[in-house]
């Protein structure tokens, strides 16, 4: 039998796509592959900290319970402060899950990455207060307001290190399995609307569904779909495609400089970043991605 090696996971960004990380962790457990440490970016940080605190079951229950209406209850809309959503619900979610206040108090090694808005450099959280670390790591530019911490304004780690392999290696020795929830399909970074001219899963859809878009002067787009030939990218299309384009280039450079032992790309580009009600589909996709390469992963980990 091969000698077991301490396996680390680098969990990448992806919004609702990042729920696939739950499926990844479940599949590894089924294969008898023990994970020793996790580094996360954006949703990867949120899933990773739930795992590190021994609260993955509770987090998965929460994810699977999400509906569009329930998601609307978490949107604290604002039109100032550098984002549309204040994001106060994220620390409250960590409280409800029973996540400790300090990274050092977690049951397993964990770290998260964010980006300094002034310098553009990555900011690594491997110790200290946990809530600002997670809140900063998930701060999608233009959507969630930046976080002021330790004299810096911080935004999503996707802009500087979308799949934090180097951070994972800093947590300890052993191979690193990297998970990218944004595996490319033929559609690229943005898929134009279909023949009906409608786009689903956008922030505007969620806000309209809950009656929260009234009184914004129409600045977020027309209330009714335009004719198919004239339908432009909407607000969230532009924001997320832009983040995808930037983070994809950054990821290629980062992985070339510090490659993981194995990279899994989970093909979830047909899932909008805000379709949190589709958590089950993302979880299943992560599980399937691991099982498809089970023997490689077992060999890498010595399982």
β-sheet bridge partners, residue 102: 129
Distances (CA, A) of 189 to 43, 105, 111, 113, 266: 19, 39, 28, 23, 15
Residue with tokens 């680098």, as numbered in its chain = 10
Q: Would you call 116 a catalytic residue per the annotation?
A: no
Q: Would you call 36 a catalytic residue per the annotation?
A: no
- Tokens representing 163 are 């799949």
Q: Who contacts 179 (Cβ-Cβ below 8 Å, separation ≥6)?
A: 9, 10, 11, 12, 20, 21, 24, 44, 163, 264, 266, 286, 289
Q: By the 8 A CB rule, do 166 and 157 touch?
A: no
Q: By the 8 A CB rule, do 293 and 264 touch?
A: yes
Catalytically annotated residue among 156, 205, 237, 244: 156
Q: Who contacts 130 (Cβ-Cβ below 8 Å, separation ≥6)?
A: 49, 94, 99, 100, 101, 102, 103, 106
| Of 22, 38, 15, 24, residue with least CA distance to 164 | 38
Catalytic residues: 42, 156
């Amino acid at each position: 039998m091969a000698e077991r090696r301490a396996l680390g996971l680098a969990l990448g960004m992806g919004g609702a796509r990042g729920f696939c990380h739950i499926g990844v962790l479940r599949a590894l457990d089924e294969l008898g592959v023990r994970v020793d440490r996790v580094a996360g970016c954006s949703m990867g940080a949120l899933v990773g900290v739930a795992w590190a605190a021994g609260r993955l079951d509770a987090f998965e229950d929460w994810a699977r319970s999400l509906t569009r209406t329930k998601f609307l209850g978490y949107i604290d809309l604002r039109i100032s402060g550098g984002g549309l959503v204040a994001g106060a619900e994220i620390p409250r979610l960590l409280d409800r899950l029973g996540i400790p206040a300090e990274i050092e108090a977690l049951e397993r090694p964990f770290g998260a990455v964010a980006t300094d808005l002034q310098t553009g450099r990555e900011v690594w959280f491997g110790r200290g207060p946990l809530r600002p670390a997670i809140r900063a790591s998930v701060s999608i530019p233009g959507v969630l307001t930046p976080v002021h911490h330790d004299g810096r304004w911080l935004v999503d780690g996707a802009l500087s290190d979308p799949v934090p392999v180097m951070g994972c290696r800093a947590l300890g020795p052993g191979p690193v399995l990297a998970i990218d929830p944004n595996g490319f399909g033929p559609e690229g970074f943005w898929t134009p609307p279909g023949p009906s001219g409608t786009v689903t899963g956008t922030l505007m859809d969620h806000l309209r569904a809950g009656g929260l878009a009234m009184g914004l002067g129409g600045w977020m787009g027309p209330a009714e779909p335009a004719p198919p030939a004239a339908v432009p990218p909407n607000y969230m299309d532009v924001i997320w495609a832009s983040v995808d384009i930037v983070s994809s280039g950054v990821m290629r450079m980062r992985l070339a400089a510090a490659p993981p032992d194995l990279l899994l790309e989970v093909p979830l580009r047909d899932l909008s970043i805000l379709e949190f009600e589709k958590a089950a589909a993302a979880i299943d996709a992560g599980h399937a991605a691991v099982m498809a390469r089970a023997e490689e992963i077992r060999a890498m980990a010595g399982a």
